[in-house]
Amino acid sequence: MLRLPILTVIMVLLASFLFFRKGRQALTTPAGKGCVVPKDWLVSNPHPVTPTEHIRPADQTFLTYPEWFLVHSPAEIADYAHERTTTTFPYMSHVKQLWQSYGVVYDQIKGSFAFNTGYHIMIWVIGVSTTVEYALKALYETVVGRLTNPTNGAVVTDEDKFNAQFSQDYVDFIRVLPWYEFDFKARIPQLLKGTSFFGPHFIRKFERKYMLLTELLVKSGYGYLIKIGTKASYDEALLTTAVVINRLPAVPDTLTPIKTYPDGSALLLLPRYEAFHPAVSALVKQGVTFREIAGNNSAILLTVLAPETWQPVSQNLQLVFTQPIVTKPGLKRVALVTTVGSLDKTIRYAQEQNVKIEHVYDY
């Protein structure tokens, strides 16, 4: 029986070739080979005004991208789940986008900053976990889910509706808080009580219940472990981002500065993560410019969602890469780099161009 090992090697090679071959659609298009960001943008601030406890490393604006992709991706899934069952969701495309974009952002900072081991490990942990999760889902959905999927992937069973709601709640949650804080366990009784055992599409109902139950059980267990691990290895994350602005806005709002300086500039604490960019946009509207964000005054990354044909043209920014939104034909994500000093102009430019700012990566 020497035939089996030989055949297996051949099939595995063929399968890898098919998996890695260039698809009809490029899933990540870098703006150029290697580092495309001007080198003088890739420096740490030598004399920050921001107090030390609010300073974060300059390269983290890039390194937070893969982490945020893991918010953008569930968001896309949640949008999809309202329209169609997630059985046909292209999970593997997202896996590829995750690792490809990680490669591109790493290319930008490689050589300019010391290797940020802790951060890379964290990316690998969440990247590998997500890859495993998505691969298992893709496999399961291809082998089993596809066979029970209602015609046209219509969301008709209570279970698929539950899934849509759960996906939405999950994304809304992780925009603000770490995923492992999400209460997966509490969803289990909701799933079991909120859906009938029998009913039309019985097989689909049964199969989805099985699959959702598995997902909830595994994620609550895994989340518990990651929570312990994170607490042990990383400091509690700050929920604010300190910014230094050139002057206080004319119309005083709820934001009271921590400190003001003789030249009129001021130190403010803005909310971090999801709420950061609305706060920044509000300040920009008032004509404010930024001097420091989390202690940094050089490159800062942001992503916008734009029509496929859109091309950014402005001296204040540099295109890094684009990724098609695979479930929304015609739409793409564009990753741009600007400097802290030009952030206001870049935001204004995006608004003029009518493209939606998805996120500003506040280190």
Partner 1 sequence: MRLKDKLPLSYLLFTTRGRIHRSTYWLVSAFIWSTFYVLHTILYDFVSEGSTYILYPLLIGSLVATANKRLHDTNHSGYWLLAILIPVLGPLWLIYQLGFRRGDKHQNLFGTVPNEAADYFKNDNGQPVPHSAPERIINDVTQLNPVVVADVFRPKSVDELQERLRNTTGPVSVGGGRFSMGGQTASSGSLHIDMRGLNQVIQFSKEDRRITVQAGIRWCDIQRFVDAHDLSVKIMQTYANFTVGGSLSVNCHGRYMGHGPLILSVRSIELVLADGSLVQASRTENSDVFFGTIGGYNGLGIIVSAELDLEDNLAVRREYHNLPRSDYRTYFADTIRDNPEAVFHNGDMYPPTYTNMRAVTWVKTTEKPTVKTRLMPLRESYPLERYFMWAFTETAAGKWRREHIVDPLLYLAKPIHWRNYEAGYDVAELEPRSRTKRTYVLQEYFVPVRHFDTFSAKMSEIFNRYQVNVINVSVRHALPDSGSYLAWAREEVFAFVVYYKQRTNDVAKNTVAIWTRELIDAALSVGGAYYLPYQAHATSEQFHQAYPNARKLFALKKNLDPDFRFHNVFWDTYYQPFLSTGLTG
Q: Which stretch binds partner 1 (CB under 8 A): 105-113, 173-181, 212-220, 292-300?
A: 212-220
- Please report whether residue 326 would count as binding partner 1 according to CB under 8 A: no
Largest CA distance in the chain: 84
**313 lies in the binding site for partner 1 (CB under 8 A):** no
By the 8 A CB rule, do 338 and 346 touch? yes
For the bound state, the minimum distance from the C-beta of residue 77 to partner 1, rounded and expressed in Å, comes to: 21
Per CB under 8 A, 190 contacts partner 1: no
Residues 62 and 104: their CA atoms lie apart, in Å, by 9
Choice between 5 and 189, CB closer to partner 1 = 5
- Is-contact 310 260, C-beta < 8 A? no
Binding of partner 1 by 198 (CB under 8 A)? no
2 binds partner 1 (CB under 8 A): yes
What is the residue-wise DSSP string for 6-40?
HHHHHHHHHHHHHHHS--SS-S-EESSSS--S-GG
49: left (phi over 0), alpha (psi -120 to 50) or beta: alpha
How many chain residues interact with partner 1 (CB under 8 A)? 21
For the bound state, the minimum distance from the C-beta of residue 349 to partner 1, rounded and expressed in Å, comes to 40
Q: Which stretch binds partner 1 (CB under 8 A): 54-62, 196-204, 214-222, 252-260?
A: 214-222
For 221, the token pair is 């267990």
What does the DSSP 8-state code read for residue 145? Answer: I
Under rule CB under 8 A, which residues in 108-137 are in contact with partner 1? none
Q: Which of 29, 100, 116, 142 binds partner 1 (CB under 8 A)?
A: 142
| Distance in angstroms (rounded) separating the CA atoms of residues 94 and 70 | 9
Q: Which of residues 17-46 bind partner 1 (CB under 8 A)?
A: 18-19
DSSP state of 143: I
Least spacing, CB of residue 118 vs partner 1, in Å: 31
By CB under 8 A, what part of segment 238-277 binds partner 1? none
